[in-house]
Chains A and B, each alone.
Chain A
Amino acid sequence: EDQVTQSPEALRLQEGESSSLNCSYTVSGLRGLFWYRQDPGKGPEFLFTLYSAGEEKEKERLKATLTKKESFLHITAPKPEDSATYLCAVPVAQTGANNLFFGTGTRLTVIP
């Protein structure tokens, strides 16, 4: 059964304090791993897609990496505006459609 587990559930950082969020997955035949950012009361906003182990992508203070079992979202010198819930997701086809299976997210708070 496909599984996506994110840790920690919540993370509080001081502004400038770098850290990493984890997304571990169990899927048959990975067809990509997606990272989204979600602000309260809003829909998820696409950040990155990673397709193969060893792949890395960067955007401003964020860097996503992928291994065969997990993905990390590294946040370097975060600012308060980085506060949000970060979701990872993998595509699954078991429902007959290509849809995304989401983890429960990591709620990040960056304190000034």
Chain B
Amino acid sequence: ETGVTQSPTHLIKTRGQQVTLRCSSQSGHNTVSWYQQALGQGPQFIFQYYREEENGRGNFPPRFSGLQFPNYSSELNVNALELDDSALYLCASSQKRTGGSLSYGYTFGSGTRLTVV
């Protein structure tokens, strides 16, 4: 059983640029959630994808967008990067059960450390 893998592990971008982060979910998981974790803080929910559609969103602006692919892998895109976007971006996969109830047994990846300069 493979876990959640994220790429790249580290990234440095310039303010105003765009970035794409990638995530491969754990085998058997059909739901992907993205979290932003600033230094010294807990992870904050960005959005969740299920069946290739956004299934809920936290308090993040539209320049944060995502995709989920048929194999359940996912991308997080951030446009017009700001200095405050510097953080660890975490992908978490889980399994949504028949009937819609979600297993909260999230498996997190090791994250992508994004630095905006």
Q: Which residues of A contact B (CB under 8 A)?
A: 4, 31-32, 34, 36, 41-46, 49, 87, 89, 91, 95-105
Contact = CB atoms under 8 A, between A and B. Distances in A.
B44 to A, nearest CB: 7
B72 interface: no
A95 B104 contact: no
A7 to B, nearest CB: 13
Tell me the interface secondary structure of chain B in the complex. Answer: strand
Interface of B: 4, 33, 40-45, 47-48, 50, 55-58, 88, 90, 92, 102, 104-111, 113
A111 to B, nearest CB: 21
A100 B45 contact: yes
Nearest to B104: A91
Contacts of A100: 43, 45, 104, 106
A99 B42 CA distance: 13
A2 B77 CA distance: 28
A101 B57 CA distance: 13
A43 B40 contact: no
Choose among A36, A42, A43, A87 the residue with the greatest number of B CB atoms under 10 Å from its CB. A43
B45 A46 contact: no
Contacts of A36: 108
12 contacts: A32-B104, A36-B108, A41-B113, A45-B108, A95-B57, A96-B55, A96-B56, A97-B56, A98-B102, A98-B104, A99-B58, A102-B44
Instruction: State the 4 A-B residue pairs at the shortest beta-carbon distance, nearest first.
Output: A97-B56, A102-B42, A43-B108, A96-B56
Given A34-B104, A49-B104, A95-B58, A44 B90 contact: yes
Residue with the highest number of chain B CB atoms closer than 10 Å, among A4, A44, A46: A44
A104 B41 contact: yes
